[in-house]
Structure 1
Amino acid sequence: MTGPGLDREREAFRQSAESKTPRPPLTLVTRERLHSALDLGVRAPLTLVVAPAGTGKTVLLSDWVTRRRLLGQKVVWVPGQTPGSLHGFLERAAELESALMLDPIVIDDAHLLPASTVTEMARVLQQSPHAVRLLLATRYDLPLPISELEIRGMALTLRSRDLRFNDAEATLLVQAHAEDATPDAIARVQEKTAGWAAALVLAARTLQSSGDVVWPLASQRPVLDLLFGETLNTLDPRVQAMLLSTFGVTSLTPQLAAVMSGDGEAGSMLEDLAGSGLLVTAYADSPSSTPLYRYHPLLVELLRRRIAISVDDRQLVVTAQHRSALYYESRGDSEAALRSALLADDAELVARILLGHGPALLTAGEAALVEAAFDVLPAGYVEQHPHLFGVRGLLRRVTGDVAGAVLDAASADERTAESTAEARPARPEDDALAADAVLLRLWESRYGWQDVHAAIERARSLLSPVPAAGDTPHAVLGPERLAWLLIELAAAETWADELDAALSHLDEALVTARMAGHHQLIAAGLAHRAVVQHVRGQGQNAAWSAQAALDAAGEQGLPQEYCARAQVVLGFAAVSGLDLDSASKYYEQVAVADVAGSDTVVAGLRTMLRTMLLVEQGRLGDALTELTTDPVAAGPLPSYLSRDLALLRCWLATLLGDKATVDTQVSVLERTGNTTEAELVRAMTSMEDAQAALKLIEAGLDRPDIYPPLASAAASFRTVLLVRAGDELAAEAALVDTLNRITPQRMLHVLATAGGEPAFLDRLRKHLTGPNPHPFAAAALEKLSSYQPAWSEAGGMTPLARTRPDAHTPPPRRLEAVINGARIKLTAREAEVLDQLALGSSYAEVAQALFITENTVKTHLISLYRKLGVDKRSAALRTARTVGLL
């Protein structure tokens, strides 16, 4: 990645990462010796500033960054608690040959970085150290290759001893806070603080206010603790009240500070405090933007102790949290609103936020927070406020308490019926309860505990914009609740074989979730859509949706119920593309999931994926065992699931030569409404009369509603039969039709049977050398030529193999081929050497097997490579397979 694309990526990263740069405090001492050290350090890949809180790391780095920017030198600032796009940037850095960005990246509070980001950072520093210039401020050492880089002169570390203020620096700093400090007082402060930045400032402020510093030599409390307390006590009571009201917020805006403290001057107070560079640090996206404030961790601890011993201070916090909850709720931040409500000691507020936003929080993966909220409600509160039954039922469903969820679903139904019977206008709480009750019924219906069609109709009635005559007006729902309801409705419709309706409702759900900006609901909708697309034979589209679901979920990840859907679909897509290693990895992830939480459709798909992988591994007996029983189903299987299971059983039975089972599964296809598929399978498994089979296949392929993967497989069978019949023109047309069918969804696995036939591969090679080759022909030939089915080695045989004219006569060894338009011919000895290479033999092993010297082997290899137009073994084998020499 070079040129304009790389420049755009660099600039995008800078713009996203340069936000929240701390503003330098107003009273600051520029420390030239440390600036010089940092200037030197950032010429190398890694510079570390490792020291505890209160040693002036952030102040030093913010001053250094400001100076460089004033000189026109670019610096990126990344807070450790909000690393933004740093993780993705590091993932790509080591993959690029040239340096990605030599501007220094300053990471403050690097000890707060996610473990995955630190791991990526270590990888880049080990593999491509010259790709980055990192400057990290951290309270402790991180698992980075520091020693290795220091030995190579590629890292610099500054520690507490380096950050201590020398006498000259200490004098300037104390005088900045206490103008009238005498040299003796400054000397005493420096002696007692040992150059510790925070202690120097605190002592100076105390000196300024009282004229002296009383050092607690006999006290057991730390110096900083005492000094912070003394400094806090010198502040105006309004400032102290503001600090007590707001100290629990990680990143505080002036507006939120004013809301929580009830003081309109809170923003000015924060600005004054930040100006001292002591109690508060200010961050801003740009010099003109509204700053964010963060409190010193030692100050936070001191304030926490105060509210523990003071009833009045505790009441300030409770009142502030109540205001905070309302503020966050008005801004749509339901998670922050509920967290604040939990601290506000107000059951009614907690209950109201639970009812309004509980489902949104559950779908965002905040089940623990919702559970904590129910725990703080007084005993019997839900029974006295029955509108909460639905939310609690959804919580119990998400956390695996099936029995509790079923009981709450029944209670929600009962309360909904009572509200309807009262014949009064619906209130918001009635709408919420009605939606939650339907959500729970849809969930239950997928396990056979409720009638699925009745649950679907109930959901559709709730969502209908126009109520039926005599019905009450329908619910007005928030976007998160609505999106979840639409997704659950689509899941039930998928189970009920109503795939068109399911896709329509999933589209609605995705639009609603995107409008709400709810990434987890977006991911859930995409995961469900992937399953629907897969069962319709749209494997590539399904894979795109599945991957988009995993991407949309972000670092938080998908709940297991949705993740299983995405991964099983990706597993099938990998099989379809003959990428069996990736398919196995996806299956391993699905195998450990509790598929019971994902319903019978996913359980059935998992069984089929495992069976396909067992067949590909040559474990035909294990595959047969896997398919001996149907998945546990909530009633009759959907027709598509019955179809796919029957087709898979047919394929396995065909490989094993079990005609009775094939006939049984063909009957299953007919009984479940898949008559066209039944006719095609009958034609493809009864190949003794080639002409009759060809006519049946032609008739089946003319049907518009045929299952795409089976149609593609049948088209490849037709190609082979026409080649065998000697009809070159018809065979060429059939091959192009086959390629047209498999290309949109990249369905290579359906060609596995025909791909093992020399007639099919020869036709594909001839097609490639023709005047107008199909765009997907080369990729198909390469994949099929290298495909070595283990089921064949295990004794499995396809109908085409059984009816091959030369089935009992080994084909003659091919020595001629066309490569890059030129015809080449191998000698018999070169062919033997090529065969030995394919077995993985070394030069010595080839020589021993063919009774020749190693030098003779090398001579044949030189000639062989020249003819194939390659320069190494792997390329020789790949080319030889592609042109049919192996």
Structure 2
Amino acid sequence: MESKDEPKDEPGGEPKDDFPRTPSGTDVDPLGDPFLRTRFALPTRPAAFLRRDRLLAPLDREPGTPLVMVNGTAGAGKTLLVADWAARLRQPVAWLTLDAAIGGPGMFWAHVLQALRASGVPVSPDTGTVLDGAGNGRCPLGRLAAQLGATQRTVTLVLDDYDHAAAEVSEQLAFVLHHAGAGLRLVLVPRTEPLLPLHRYRAAGEISEIRDAELAFTAQETAALLDLHGVRVTVQAADALVERTRGWAAGVRLSALAARESPDPSLYLKEFEAGHSAVADFLLAEVLRSRPPRTQDLLLRVSVLERFCADLANTLVGGDDADSVLATLHRENAFVEDLGHGWYRLHPLFREILRVHLRERCPGLEPDLHRRAARWLRRHGALPEMVAHGAAAGDWAATARALVDDLAIGELFTGLRSDDLAGLLADLDPGTTGAAPDLVRAARDLARHDLDRGLTHLRHAHEELPPGADAAAARLSWALLEALAARLSGSPRRAEQAARAARQVRPEVPAPLLDRRPELSAQLLTHLGPTRLWAGRFDAARAALTAVLTGPDGASLVLPRVESLGRLALIEYLDGWPGRAERHARAALAESERFSLHDPVGPDLARLVLAGVAVDRGELGRAQQLLDPTPDPASQDPVAAVGRAIVTARLLLARGRSRAAAEAAGAPVPAVVTSPWAEGRTTLVAAEAHLAEGRPDVAAQVLREVADEDPECAVGAARAHVAAGDPSAALRVLDEATAHRRLGPAVRVRAALARAHAAQVAGNPVAARHLMADALLDARRERLRRPFAEARPWAEPLLAAPPMRQLAAGWLLPEGEAPARRTEPAPVLVDQLSVRERDVLARLAELMSTEEIAADLYVSVNTVKTHVKSVYRKLAVNRRHDAVRRARELGLL
């Protein structure tokens, strides 16, 4: 007898001898019934069988592993795969298909011996005698293991449907496998993981495994199998079938058989009704009806869910044992997939079939299940799923109240799940009335930039909002949507009123709820900033948008941060700071790419700004590439719409298409109020078009009224006055407009060029040269080439002078015009700089301090110091000046 202290799965231990006795060498089993030959026959492969070499290869490649396990769901194709492989082996193959009648130890081993004899493996007669109890005291399994170990050729024993074997059989089988050594290779074909010490075989590398994931048919294999059934379809149709069946072999084969009878096989495979098909019959018989009634009920109820955990399943079933049931179903490969962290999902085809069966077995239950699921999901913060189930239950009133009371309206605008939520809310029942449904409708419409409908629903919601703390969440949601509507309509006054309303109602909202929704404050600022920008209040807009970036971080705040960076980039571009604008724009794109956002405003506005900077740098091809994929944002935001119009017009001016530029800049943009800077920049484009066409007097006249308000317009007016032969007027305009103002480089360079031109016309060449040198020095840092291209007709003689050529060398003059240099090998950067290190390097070149760099990048000073050290190491330098010089040599700046 086995010691109680001895481990059950120890291969070296002696298992208990409790087999029924049967005479050896007979053709009857221990019960006296004839052996059924079908249990020992290699399964016949069908005529339309597809050999899959990718699955046979690992079995052939590892012939030395004593244990092979092909584990998969019912109908996964595991039996046919092993049969195909076994038929090709040159060594003896003993095949045994188990069932419930031969699962016990005595019947099992009697059938194993018969399978060995049937395959031609010599089994000593005294082994049978020992099994009958007439032996000499040695364990019969030890005799069997010794005989197999003594054979000259390895015997392959295949045990199909091994799930029917009793628990103690696995212990005995492990003993025989261990002591048979190289004489036995065991192949198990179960649906569940057997009770063998698999961890030991895995650790020793003595097992070859093929599981469900490998057994699944690929699109190419599916197309080939369909072809064998006489069904020829496109790869796309095969891929769609794989998507629906997850490559489940039986599903693919049964679908192929049904499609063969259809007049349009491709359409059938795409749209077949799974709930009433041969596939449904197979799964209901093999998986559902073979389970206890309570398990069947659980499977039917969770079929309304995309994914579920035990607690959610218990909520739908009304029990407390779902955890063990789900674990068992997954372990038994019953089409229940483990997603990790306690979450599961049903195989999509099985789920589809179960839902049809649920409606037939329990009509009217499905809406109640959706309502239960929605309540559970709301408590656990799964917003899109809660909305999906609320919609499926037709309970729109409760769903809308949940969205508003939980302050979840803002999630329609986070960019993470916005599309999913907007799609779910598209069918919101128009008959559902009240403040909450109207707020949800307004949010849905504003999210897709339908301003008219959004404003209508927002007005209705405001009329229905009740007073008091109970409606605080609803009033705060209304204020957020009001600010968004103000941004979309270009109404600064409305935005400020919405911001005040939000500040007043916030103290009435529970603090824990506000803490869970940090995106609301960020979104409010993101809407407030553009309206201030539209009003021409650049500093106030910059403050609101910067507050978003310096506030809390998190996934729900990514889109507000991206949009804020895009608008800050536009502010810097309009203010004449192309370097700053470029850094903000690149930061917006990097953040957007990191989270794979598809927001139409933030990233597109960043690309728009980069296109404008490229125009100023004379990179017209790059500007066009950045502008082409950027959609027209006119229906989204007047700030973005005017920004696009201005950049497009400047690109057209740079290409000599002045009339088209004036038309592009003058395109009307719907807005409640007129933006002063938008009007000024549009006027400036029109004036530059007149100037390009030789009408400087008209250009000066056009800019007369806006020159005092905008320094860039003043510079444009000065250029027009000089071209008209009035340098004194030009200098007067420049002095009045630029005094006591901190101008950006793009404005300073054009102003210096206008002064140089005025000095040249006034007959003061020395002053003209000094001013040209100032312009070149200022422009070199930002690589501003476009102002010099505009000035080329009069500036070319000045630029031809040797001192100017030296200042223009390497960045402004075309290749071949720069002064000669010593011929030296081009330096090579072995260790590439990261994106953040390049950002730091660009600011080092601008002579920014460590503290200024940290503030500009929204990082700590220590982080900047770490990046600076890394830059120095990679560039092999020790000082800032050397780092900048070497970076320029390498083309990094």
- Smaller-chain TM-score bracket: 0.5 to 0.7
The answer to whether structure 1 residue 464 and structure 2 residue 464 are counterparts is: no
Question: What amino acid is aligned across from residue 646 of structure 2 in structure 1?
Answer: M
Judging changes above 3 Å, is the alpha-carbon distance between structure 1 residues 500 and 474 closer, same or farther for their aligned structure 2 residues? farther
Query: Would you say the 8 A contact 2:745–2:782 is kept in 1?
Result: no
Say which of 315, 322, 334 aligns to 2:383.
334
Question: What amino acid is aligned across from residue 785 of structure 1 in structure 2?
Answer: P
Correspondence list, 1:643-682, <5 A: 643-670=680-707, 673-674=709-710, 677-678=713-714, 681-682=717-718
In structure 1, what is the Cα distance between the partners aligned to 2:460 and 2:94?
A: 69
Say which of 410, 429, 434 aligns to 2:478.
434
Query: Would you say the 8 A contact 2:662–2:689 is kept in 1?
Result: yes
The answer to whether structure 1 residue 179 and structure 2 residue 103 are counterparts is: yes
Question: What amino acid is aligned across from residue 496 of structure 1 in structure 2?
Answer: A
2:205 equivalent in structure 1: none
In structure 2, what is the Cα distance between the partners aligned to 1:472 and 1:251?
A: 36
Question: What amino acid is aligned across from residue 280 of structure 1 in structure 2?
Answer: V
Q: TM-score, normalised by structure 2?
A: 0.56
- Measure how far apart 1:581 and its partner are: 1.6
The answer to whether structure 1 residue 614 and structure 2 residue 652 are counterparts is: yes
Q: Deviations for 1:121-151, whole angstroms, at most 9, x for unmatched residues? A: xxxxxxxxxxxxxxxxxxxxxxxxxxxxxxx
Instruction: Look up the SS of the partner of 1:234 in the other structure.
Output: coil
Query: Would you say the 8 A contact 1:709–1:747 is kept in 2?
Result: yes
Query: Would you say the 8 A contact 2:307–2:345 is kept in 1?
Result: yes
Say which of 237, 240, 253 aligns to 2:293.
237
- Measure how far apart 1:701 and its partner are: 5.9
In structure 2, what is the Cα distance between the partners aligned to 1:740 and 1:242?
A: 76
2:814 equivalent in structure 1: 785
Percent sequence identity over aligned pairs = 21
1:11 equivalent in structure 2: none
Single out whichever of 231-240 and 678-687 deviates more from structure 2. 678-687
Query: Would you say the 8 A contact 2:535–2:675 is kept in 1?
Result: yes
Judging changes above 3 Å, is the alpha-carbon distance between structure 1 residues 327 and 169 closer, same or farther for their aligned structure 2 residues? farther
Judging changes above 3 Å, is the alpha-carbon distance between structure 1 residues 740 and 273 closer, same or farther for their aligned structure 2 residues? farther
Instruction: Look up the SS of the partner of 2:677 in the other structure.
Output: helix
Corresponding residue pairs, total: 603
The answer to whether structure 1 residue 574 and structure 2 residue 614 are counterparts is: yes
1:586 equivalent in structure 2: 626
Question: What amino acid is aligned across from residue 820 of structure 1 in structure 2?
Answer: R
In structure 2, what is the Cα distance between the partners aligned to 1:369 and 1:654?
A: 51
Query: Would you say the 8 A contact 2:588–2:606 is kept in 1?
Result: yes
Judging changes above 3 Å, is the alpha-carbon distance between structure 1 residues 508 and 552 closer, same or farther for their aligned structure 2 residues? same
- Measure how far apart 1:553 and its partner are: 4.1
Say which of 57, 60, 66 aligns to 1:37.
57
Question: What amino acid is aligned across from residue 542 of structure 1 in structure 2?
Answer: A
1:506 equivalent in structure 2: 545
In structure 2, what is the Cα distance between the partners aligned to 1:527 and 1:328?
A: 35
Single out whichever of 251-260 and 710-719 deviates more from structure 2. 251-260
Judging changes above 3 Å, is the alpha-carbon distance between structure 1 residues 245 and 574 closer, same or farther for their aligned structure 2 residues? farther
In structure 2, what is the Cα distance between the partners aligned to 1:497 and 1:736?
A: 33
In structure 1, what is the Cα distance between the partners aligned to 2:624 and 2:289?
A: 64
Correspondence list, 1:741-820, <5 A: 741-742=778-779, 745-754=782-791, 757-762=795-800, 766=803, 779-781=810-812, 784-785=813-814, 818-820=819-821
2:459 equivalent in structure 1: 410
- Measure how far apart 1:667 and its partner are: 0.7
Judging changes above 3 Å, is the alpha-carbon distance between structure 1 residues 460 and 743 closer, same or farther for their aligned structure 2 residues? farther
Correspondence list, 1:225-304, <5 A: 225-226=281-282, 228-250=284-306, 252-254=308-310, 257=313, 261=317, 263-282=319-338, 290=341, 292-304=343-355
Work out which of the two has the higher radius of gyration on C-alpha atoms and give 1 or 2. 2
The answer to whether structure 1 residue 634 and structure 2 residue 690 are counterparts is: no
- Measure how far apart 1:408 and its partner are: 1.7
RMSD: 5.1
Question: What amino acid is aligned across from residue 336 of structure 1 in structure 2?
Answer: E
Q: TM-score, normalised by structure 1?
A: 0.57
Stretches of structure 1 that go unaligned for 5 or more consecutive residues are 1-30, 43-51, 61-159, 188-196, 209-215, 285-289, 447-451, 787-814, 824-881
Judging changes above 3 Å, is the alpha-carbon distance between structure 1 residues 692 and 642 closer, same or farther for their aligned structure 2 residues? closer
1:532 equivalent in structure 2: 571
1:124 equivalent in structure 2: none
The answer to whether structure 1 residue 389 and structure 2 residue 313 are counterparts is: no
Query: Would you say the 8 A contact 2:483–2:495 is kept in 1?
Result: no
Question: What amino acid is aligned across from residue 361 of structure 2 in structure 1?
Answer: S
Say which of 630, 636, 645 aligns to 1:597.
636
Query: Would you say the 8 A contact 2:308–2:344 is kept in 1?
Result: yes
Query: Would you say the 8 A contact 2:662–2:685 is kept in 1?
Result: no
2:360 equivalent in structure 1: 309
Question: What amino acid is aligned across from residue 820 of structure 2 in structure 1?
Answer: I
Query: Would you say the 8 A contact 2:714–2:737 is kept in 1?
Result: no
- Measure how far apart 1:405 and its partner are: 2.3
Q: Deviations for 1:346-366, whole angstroms, at most 9, x for unmatched residues? A: 444312233242341255364
Question: What amino acid is aligned across from residue 487 of structure 1 in structure 2?
Answer: T
Stretches of structure 2 that go unaligned for 5 or more consecutive residues are 1-50, 63-71, 117-158, 165-188, 195-253, 259-275, 825-888
In structure 2, what is the Cα distance between the partners aligned to 1:388 and 1:224?
A: 40
Q: Deviations for 1:841-882, whole angstroms, at most 9, x for unmatched residues? A: xxxxxxxxxxxxxxxxxxxxxxxxxxxxxxxxxxxxxxxxx9
- Measure how far apart 1:551 and its partner are: 4.5
In structure 1, what is the Cα distance between the partners aligned to 2:717 and 2:792?
A: 18
Judging changes above 3 Å, is the alpha-carbon distance between structure 1 residues 735 and 617 closer, same or farther for their aligned structure 2 residues? closer
- Measure how far apart 1:309 and its partner are: 0.7
1:488 equivalent in structure 2: 527
In structure 2, what is the Cα distance between the partners aligned to 1:198 and 1:767?
A: 88
Q: Deviations for 1:727-756, whole angstroms, at most 9, x for unmatched residues? A: 999778656643554456553323323466
Judging changes above 3 Å, is the alpha-carbon distance between structure 1 residues 637 and 301 closer, same or farther for their aligned structure 2 residues? closer
In structure 1, what is the Cα distance between the partners aligned to 2:636 and 2:395?
A: 34
In structure 1, what is the Cα distance between the partners aligned to 2:447 and 2:279?
A: 49
Judging changes above 3 Å, is the alpha-carbon distance between structure 1 residues 361 and 511 closer, same or farther for their aligned structure 2 residues? farther
In structure 2, what is the Cα distance between the partners aligned to 1:230 and 1:325?
A: 31
Correspondence list, 1:697-776, <5 A: 703-706=740-743, 708-718=745-755, 734=771, 737-739=774-776, 741-742=778-779, 745-754=782-791, 757-762=795-800, 766=803
Single out whichever of 318-327 and 455-464 deviates more from structure 2. 318-327
- Measure how far apart 1:669 and its partner are: 1.8
Query: Would you say the 8 A contact 1:279–1:295 is kept in 2?
Result: yes
Q: Deviations for 1:193-238, whole angstroms, at most 9, x for unmatched residues? A: xxxx9999899889x9xxxxxxx9x999537842542432222333
In structure 2, what is the Cα distance between the partners aligned to 1:676 and 1:595?
A: 24
2:13 equivalent in structure 1: none
Instruction: Look up the SS of the partner of 2:709 in the other structure.
Output: coil
In structure 1, what is the Cα distance between the partners aligned to 2:736 and 2:102?
A: 97
- Measure how far apart 1:630 and its partner are: 6.0
Instruction: Look up the SS of the partner of 2:704 in the other structure.
Output: helix
Judging changes above 3 Å, is the alpha-carbon distance between structure 1 residues 524 and 706 closer, same or farther for their aligned structure 2 residues? closer
In structure 2, what is the Cα distance between the partners aligned to 1:170 and 1:699?
A: 102
In structure 2, what is the Cα distance between the partners aligned to 1:821 and 1:561?
A: 48
In structure 1, what is the Cα distance between the partners aligned to 2:528 and 2:577?
A: 22
Query: Would you say the 8 A contact 2:486–2:492 is kept in 1?
Result: no
In structure 1, what is the Cα distance between the partners aligned to 2:692 and 2:114?
A: 94
Judging changes above 3 Å, is the alpha-carbon distance between structure 1 residues 178 and 632 closer, same or farther for their aligned structure 2 residues? farther
2:272 equivalent in structure 1: none
In structure 2, what is the Cα distance between the partners aligned to 1:545 and 1:677?
A: 24
